[in-house]
Structure 1
Amino acid sequence: MDINTTAQFAAAPDRVAAMMTDPQWWVDVYRRIGATTSNITPTENGISLDLALPAPHQVQKIVGETLAAHQDLTWEAPAADGSRTGELIINPKGMPARAVGHASLVADGPGSVVTYTGEFTISIPVVGKKLEKTAGPYLTRAFDVQQEAGNDYLAG
């Protein structure tokens, strides 16, 4: 499944980058989708965390009632204009799945735009593609919530 999503924030790239490496922001993002976070670790150039959420019924036979995953978001050093590129990797635990995306953060008018592009795959013969389609709305919601949580964070 292809990932292609964009969020626009009313702040300069340096402030948005700081938000996206703030553990409390990620706690809020995942709380809004019904997940919990743990082991949130700011890294030299990003953030690493574990999350858990109620598993969709379609994957409960594989992972149980809770879907756990590990997420890493890393950013390159900012360019002269403040723009950045990065990488987002999400590895669900207990199933052969992975989301790998490229992130970009650029100035746009009075604010910034964050774009994720990449791919989410579930490597299970016969049903993998069907499960990817089932997971699509959950991934989309997680990215949409970043917009909502970001707007609240930056307004505060």
Structure 2
Amino acid sequence: MDINTSAQFAADPNTVCAMMTDPSWWQDVYRRIGATTSDVTVTDTGLSLDLALPAPSQVKKFVGETMAAHQDLSWGPAADDGSRKGTLTITPKGLPAKAVGHADLAVGGPGSVITYTGEFTVSIPLVGRKLESTAGPYITRAFDVQQEAGNDYLSARSAQ
């Protein structure tokens, strides 16, 4: 399944990058989709975290009641205008699947635009493609929630 989505934030790229490496922001994103996070580690270039959420019925026979995953987000150095290129990987535990993509953070829209491109694959013969399409709405919702949580995060920061 191809991933191609974007979000616009009313802040400069440096502020958006700081938000996207703030563990509390990611915890809010995942809380909004019904997940919990743990083992959040801020790295020199981004962050790494583990998450768990109730498993969709279609994958319960593979992973049980809870689906766990590991996420890594890394950013390259900022350009003069604050724009950055990054990588995002999400690896579900107990399921031969992976989301691998690129994140481009640039000046645009009301301040910044982040665009994700990549691919989500499930490597299970015969049912992999069906599971990918089943996961589509969950993946889309996770990106939509980033927009919602980002707007709230930035609004709260600007009110301080």
TM-score, normalised relative to structure 1: 0.99
Is 1:93 the equivalent of 2:96? no
Structure 1 match to 2:17 = 17
Structure 2 match to 1:102 = 102
Taking the aligned partners of 1:110 and 1:67, their CA distance within structure 2 comes to: 36
Instruction: Name the SS of the counterpart of 1:11 in structure 2.
Output: coil
8 Å contact kept, 2:8–2:110? no
Q: Displacement of 1:81 after TM fit?
A: 1.2
Structure 1 match to 2:2 = 2
Structure 2 match to 1:58 = 58
Number of aligned residue pairs: give it: 156
Which string of whole-angstrom CA distances, capped at 9 and with x for unpartnered residues, describes residues 95-147 of structure 1?
10000000000001541000000000000000000000000000000000000
Instruction: Name the SS of the counterpart of 2:78 in structure 1.
Output: coil
Taking the aligned partners of 1:103 and 1:139, their CA distance within structure 2 comes to: 15
Identity %: 74
Aligned-pair Cα RMSD in Å: 0.6
Structure 1 match to 2:142 = 142
Which 5+ residue runs of structure 1 have no aligned equivalent?
none
Counterpart residue type for residue 61 of structure 1 = K
8 Å contact kept, 2:55–2:65? yes
Shift >3 Å, 4+ stretches = none
Instruction: Name the SS of the counterpart of 1:126 in structure 2.
Output: coil
Structure 2 match to 1:39 = 39
Which 5+ residue runs of structure 2 have no aligned equivalent?
none
Taking the aligned partners of 1:124 and 1:151, their CA distance within structure 2 comes to: 37
Structure 2 match to 1:153 = 153
8 Å contact kept, 2:55–2:64? yes
Task: Describe the shift of the 1:139–1:81 C-alpha distance in structure 2 as closer, same or farther (beyond 3 A).
Answer: same
8 Å contact kept, 2:5–2:143? yes
Counterpart residue type for residue 64 of structure 2 = G
Instruction: Name the SS of the counterpart of 1:77 in structure 2.
Output: coil
Instruction: Name the SS of the counterpart of 1:133 in structure 2.
Output: helix
Counterpart residue type for residue 65 of structure 1 = E
Taking the aligned partners of 1:41 and 1:140, their CA distance within structure 2 comes to: 25
TM-score, normalised relative to structure 2: 0.97
Task: Describe the shift of the 1:109–1:143 C-alpha distance in structure 2 as closer, same or farther (beyond 3 A).
Answer: closer
8 Å contact kept, 2:7–2:147? yes
